Amino acid sequence: MVSLRVRRGETQQPERPVNTERFLIGSGPRCHLRLDGGIPSLHSLIRRDGEEIWIEALASSPPLQVNGQIRRSTLLQNGDRIEIGAFEFEVLVFERPAAAVGVPGSETQRPESGDGEKAPGEMTAEELVDEIQRQQAMVEEFETGRKMGADALMQEIIQRAAIAARTVPQALAAVQGLGLGATSHEAGQTGETSGALPAAAYAAITADFERFLEKLLEYERDLDRRAAKLAEREAQFAQAAAALSSSQEKLAEQIEQLLQLLSQAKQSDLVQQLSQLRKAV
């Protein structure tokens, strides 16, 4: 379990748990931790990678500082200090409590798979249904987080494009590839053309957008990996459910056969008793 404790700045809560795989920080409405004071709509991202917790800067201003050092991406440890503009947070990492030692036959001594979860083939029907429902809830949360992250990144890109268009002439047209590269090149040879985009500004803007594009691609790759993992897990549960259904059908057939045998045995006993009565008479 991970949470952020506020050390400087005003937020709605003094401590905020990081309770999702991709925790967004910024001033945007879709961020999990919303900050004001000139913070971009999407400033940084806290993500889980197995047992590791990472933070990544998605905006260059204000700079993301961890323990006083400006970082683009870094691993977080318990006690680390995160600074974003006028805000400072302390990272709190709590270890998961160890499973209680149970008595023989208790819930904690059931066989489990390598990752700490029971394999689908070892679950009862009730446990299987509960696990499928839990997995479906995880899929829904995953889809919601994917949409929130993509929307927040797109909002940040649009805002940066608007700022560039206001501060640098024709910046938006240059980013969209409307032929200003040639104009800038000619301006560099023949002198500055009125209204042309300076080469240094053009390079800075395109580099900024390339970084955001790389973030989007990385985000998409991560989503594909998670979707594949969820699909594999769902396939396992589907196989387990099919096997359970087949076992139930076989059990029902065996019960029906047993009932028929009992009925035949009772009829046979009744015939024998009647035969004995006739002989006695």
Q: Each residue of 120-162: pLDDT tens digit?
A: 556 666 666 666 766 666 666 666 666 666 666 666 666 666 6
Q: Which amino acid belongs to residue 79?
A: G
Using CA atoms, how far apart are residues 176 and 74, in angstroms rounded to an integer? 32
> Pick from 25, 235, 42, 246: which is nearest to 153 by CA?
42
Asked if 232 and 130 sit in the same domain, the reply is yes
Asked if 154 and 55 sit in the same domain, the reply is no
**Does residue 152 sit within a domain?**
yes
Determine phi and psi for 9, rounding to 5 degrees. Answer: 105, 165
Query: How would you class 205 by CB atoms within 10 Å of its CB: exposed for 0-12, middle for 13-18, buried for 19 or more?
Result: buried
**Does residue 99 sit within a domain?**
no
Q: What is the DSSP string of 227-267?
A: HHHHHHHHHHHHHHHHHHHHHHHHHHHHHHHHHHHHHHHHH
Is the pLDDT at 237 greater than 80? The verdict is no
Asked if 128 and 83 sit in the same domain, the reply is no
Q: Indicate whether this model's pTM tops 0.95.
A: no
Is the pLDDT at 241 greater than 80? The verdict is no
**Does residue 276 sit within a domain?**
no
CA end-to-end distance (rounded Å), the chain? 85
pLDDT band at 76 (very low <50, low <70, confident <90, very high): very high
**Does residue 138 sit within a domain?**
yes
Better-scored residue on pLDDT, 239 or 43: 43
Report pLDDT for 262.
Answer: 82
**Does residue 102 sit within a domain?**
no
Asked if 25 and 135 sit in the same domain, the reply is no
Asked if 41 and 130 sit in the same domain, the reply is no
How many distinct structural domains can be found in the chain?
A: 2
**Domain range for 193:** 119-249
CB of 33 closer than 8 Å to CB of 47: no
Q: Exposed e or buried b for every residue in 145-163, given b needs 16+ CB within 10 A?
A: bbebbeebbebbbeebbee
**Does residue 229 sit within a domain?**
yes
Instruction: Residue 68: give its domain's CATH number.
Output: 2.60.200.20
